[in-house]
Structures are given as C-alpha cells and as structure tokens.
Amino acid sequence: MNNQETTDRTILECRVCDDVFRFQGDKVPRLLMCGHTVCHQCLTRLQVHGTSILCPFDRQPTEIGDSGVWGLKKNFALLELLEKLQFTTQNASNINLFAQQNLDKEKELDIPCDENELHTAVLYCMTCSTHLCVECAELTHSTRTLARHKRVPLSEKPKENPKCPYHPMHLVEFACLEEDCKNNPLMCYICKDYGRHVKHRHSLLDSEAENVRTSITNAVQQIKSFGEEVADSARKLGVTIQQIEGGVQLLQSPDGVSSTQRVPGTAEQSRAKIKQYFYDLRETLNRQEDAAKILLAKQDVKTLLETIQKQQQQFSDVPEQLPLDPAIPITFTKDNRVHIGPKIEMRVVTLGLDHAGKTSILFKLKQNEFIQTIPTIGFNVETIEYKNLKFTIWDVGGQHKIRPLWKHYYFNTQAVIYVIDSNNKDRLAEAQNELAKLVQEKELREASLLIFVNKQDIQPCVSIEEVTESFGLFKLCCNRSWHIQACDANSGNGLKDGLEWLSRQMVAAGATDLA
C-alpha cells in the first residue's frame, strides 16, 4: 500500500474502532455536536447520560431524541469523499478486475447476463443490483454518472440483508428478544423506534446471528460427545449380546489348519431347555384334554349315534314314499341358481325416442300383429312368454318431457330393450346421447342391453354395422352384456332373435329344461 492509499484509508476510518466508513449499515459516519465524526456502531455502544451521549474525544455532550443514534445527521461531506475515492480506486483496478483470466472462474457459476441472456454474467453491479457480462457492463456504464457504480466479480457479490416485511424500503438490522416476538423477531429501525417493537429488548442482527451460530456449534459438540458415548455403550452391548447369543470361535489344529466353530451362548442353551419343557408340558395337557373331552362327550356321542341310525332308516324309506316326478322342469340360470318351476320371470324395460316403434314391437310380440300406434303418454306393460321365460315388459314413452321419468323404472330391471329408428337419420345423434346416459346409470349396471334397430323395411335406412360404428358401441357398452339386432315391427323379422338372445342371458349356456 503506497502513501496515498494509506492517507486515504486513515481519513476514511472511524478513530474509535479503526474500521473504514461505509455508505450504509453500522459503519455510516454520523456527526456529533462538537464536530467529530464516529461510526453508527460505535455510537450505539456509548453510554447514554439522560438524553445525551458524550463525545469519546472531547467529552462534549450531544442531545439525542426518541430515535436515539438514528436521529444524528450523517456526515455527507465524508460520504461524498468516500464515493470519490472509491470511484478512483475502482477505475484504477478495472484493468485487473475485467482481465479475462480473472473472470474465467466466474463463468463456472453459469448465471445469465441480465442485459443479454445469451451472455454469461461475470460481474455484479453493487448499485444497480444486476448481473452483467464484461461487454454489457462497459456498455451500460459508459456514461460519467453510471461509471461510478461499483462492479465486483460474482464470487464477491455481498449477501444482502432481507427487507423488512412491514417497511420494504428498509433493511432488517435488529432482532427482537421478547418472548412474544420469537416467531417473527426481525425488524428494521422504524419497527424498533416507532412500530410494533417499540420498547422491546433487542440486539443487532449480526450479534444475534452470531449467538445462534455459537449455540448451534455448542449443540453440535454436545451431539458429537453424546454420539461417542452411545457408540461406546453400543460396543459394550455388542460384547454382552455375543456372550448371551453365542458366536463363532477360530480354532487352529496342530497341523496349522484354521477352522471356525460355533460357540453356543447362554441364551441359546436356556431357550432349548425352555422349549423342551413347554413341549413336554403341551403333550401332557393335550393327552389330558383329549381324555376329558371323550369322557364329557360320551353321552352326546351315544345320542348322536342313535339319531343317525333313525335318520338312516328314514332315508331308506323315502324312495318308496316319494317317487320322482319327471314333469317338474328344472332350469340352471347364469347366476349359478337352480330354478324349479315352469317359468322364470324376467323384468324388461323398453326405452327409446318417440316414434321409434317401441309400442309396435311390444304388440307384435304379444299379439303377433302390427298396430299403428300413437306416441305413448306414460307407459304400457305386457307379459310375454317365450320358452320357459316370462318377460314382463314395461314400454315407457319416449317424448322429451317424459325421458326424465325413465329412471323410476330402473329398479330390479334385468334387461333393457333400446329401440332406434333406422329410417330417421336426423335423430340418430339424439338417440346416441340418450343411450350414453342410459349405460351410465348405476341401477342398470348389471342389466343386459338389447338394441333393436327398427324399421329396416323402410328405405333409406341405416344398417346395424353403421349404427355400431357411429354410436361407438364397442367402447360405449364395454364391460356389459349387449347385443344389437336389426328388425322391423311390421313383419316381425328379428324380434324372435332378440328374445332368444335375452333368454340366453338368463339361462346358463348349455343348460336345457329338464322335463
């Protein structure tokens, strides 16, 4: 350091602590009434006499108000000199600072330049708080005013104190020591003197942080000591456990051959004796229990034998008293039940849009004749017998205002017949929407679905293949039993085939009526 630098540093130092003055923080120069300048930190350490503090050089008093040392004026002349000297020093060191070899390590941080994201930042402007590459730093700070900004390598970027959450324009500089504020102890000088921490015990943020670091260091040392004690205890426990559980002993024969031998511990020997004792005790108790059960059940066994003999005699007489009647039909259903009787009843609901031909199909199946009907208001119900099945079919109207009433007919429904008018292509999309709502009903999840594509005798009409593809039936009716059948209510073609499919859904595959 040359004489000029030594003189500059002496001028800019606090004569109490010998630290260089700073633009902000604890090293800000403040003026006393006597004209002397002392840093903010040293002033806070001076003893207060009433409402005054004494100059450490000439003992002259200086009045301080409610704001304390914060109310004293800053030495702006000294701050301006500090800025000029810093600018001169910075310009002198810019050549070395911006040298490529000194900034190569900064590129390893891989921080993009704030001015051009394609560049890698290597410098940090203390005034602008921006990350810059060398080119952008020279370009943005080319003016005389901005050239005074201090720029440092990224690795020397200072850590900033957090902003006060209640006064964002000020930095956090103190920590409150009150118990009520332990969850949020950080504060700025406004919070300390005028805000929510007025008259609270406090300390500087750095001092409190150092106290916390010291306590953490002490805790770590205690944990290490405790860990060593635990490890020593664990070693002792390991030796004791090996003595109890046993281990492996290394033996060496006279020929020099080494071998291992299992050495039983005291616990293993004790366990073996206890197991043998309880095994013998269990065997003895089992024999005694078996003997006691036999004695107690002697009379019950005798009574049971007499009952079995009587029932055997009764069953031997049954074939003579009850001859088999081959006329009673027996049917095996798909839910693994055996139905004994002439007919199996099945509840079916017929749904579809209005004018689809639901009622015409119902009367064709019932009376074997085609009837030109009017739109159904409400419902029709008919019973149709087919083979050994009795279908109770509910025909519900399909007008738009009646469709919300369909859900009242779902309870206990075993099958749904959905009728589509193949001649009316304009309403196929509407029919698809209603069918999609139908298959999503929880009460119809287990019900079989038979789709009649009606009016195949009227041209033009869509085929069942076109309906299957346009409706997406393979995806729509996934995980349920369904079948699509072409038909026309006028001639009855396809109706019996649909009933045949429904009967197979009810009766087990391969099972026939036994007569």
Report residue 143: phi and psi, to 5°: -75, 160
Where along the chain do its domains lie? 1-97, 266-319, 338-506
Instruction: Reply yes or no on whether the pLDDT at 69 is more than 70.
Output: yes
Higher-pLDDT residue of 239, 226? 226
Ligand-binding annotation for 442, yes or no, is no
| Region of residue 378 (left: phi > 0; alpha: psi -120 to 50; beta: else) | left
The CA distance from 47 to 33, in Å, is 16
- pLDDT, one tens digit per residue, over 17-62 is 988 888 888 889 998 999 899 999 898 888 888 888 999 999 999 9
Q: Pairing relation of β-strands 482-486 and 448-454?
A: parallel
The CATH number that domain 1-97 falls under is 3.30.40.10
The CATH number that domain 338-506 falls under is 3.40.50.300
Ligand-binding annotation for 376, yes or no, is yes
Ligand-binding annotation for 2, yes or no, is no
Report the chain's mean pLDDT, rounded to a whole number. 83
Confidence at residue 324, expressed as pLDDT on a 0 to 100 scale? 52
Mean pLDDT within 230-241:
88
List the one residue out of 67, 71, 69 whose CA is nearest residue 195.
67
The CA distance from 183 to 356, in Å, is 74
Instruction: Reply yes or no on whether the pLDDT at 511 is more than 60.
Output: no
Using pLDDT thresholds of 50, 70 and 90, give the confidence band for residue 282. Answer: very high
Confidence at residue 513, expressed as pLDDT on a 0 to 100 scale? 44
Length of the chain: 515
The yes-or-no answer on residue 399 being catalytic is yes
- pLDDT, one tens digit per residue, over 127-167 is 888 989 988 988 888 888 888 888 888 888 877 778 888 88
Instruction: Reply yes or no on whether the pLDDT at 3 is more than 80.
Output: no
- pLDDT, one tens digit per residue, over 255-276 is 777 777 777 778 888 888 899 9
Q: What is the pTM of this model?
A: 0.38
3-class secondary structure, 386: strand
List the one residue out of 410, 387, 381 whose CA is nearest residue 339.
387
Distance (Å) of CA 57 to CA 38, 60, 119, 409: 10, 8, 53, 103
Ligand-binding annotation for 18, yes or no, is no
Annotated catalytic residue within 313, 399, 440, 505 = 399
Ligand-binding annotation for 357, yes or no, is yes
Mean pLDDT within 354-359:
89
Confidence at residue 277, expressed as pLDDT on a 0 to 100 scale? 93
Please give the structure tokens belonging to residue 32: 């006393």
3-class secondary structure, 48: strand
- pLDDT, one tens digit per residue, over 209-228 is 888 889 999 999 999 999 99
Helix ranges (DSSP H) in 69-133: 76-97, 100-107
Burial bucket for residue 18 (CB in 10 Å: 0-12, 13-18, 19+): exposed
3-class secondary structure, 2: coil
Which strand (E) or helix (H) includes residue 311? helix 298-321
The CA distance from 454 to 360, in Å, is 10
The CA distance from 234 to 135, in Å, is 62
Ligand-binding annotation for 398, yes or no, is yes
Ligand-binding annotation for 353, yes or no, is yes
Confidence at residue 269, expressed as pLDDT on a 0 to 100 scale? 81
Instruction: Name the percent of the chain lying above pLDDT 90.
Output: 23
Instruction: Give the CB-side neighbour count of residue 34, counting CA atoms within 13 A.
Output: 14
Instruction: Reply yes or no on whether the pLDDT at 430 is more than 90.
Output: yes
Largest Cα separation within the chain, whole Å, is 138
Please give the structure tokens belonging to residue 496: 């019996």
Instruction: Reply yes or no on whether the pLDDT at 509 is more than 70.
Output: no
Confidence at residue 1, expressed as pLDDT on a 0 to 100 scale? 44
Ligand-binding annotation for 492, yes or no, is no
Ligand-binding annotation for 456, yes or no, is yes
Ligand-binding annotation for 161, yes or no, is no
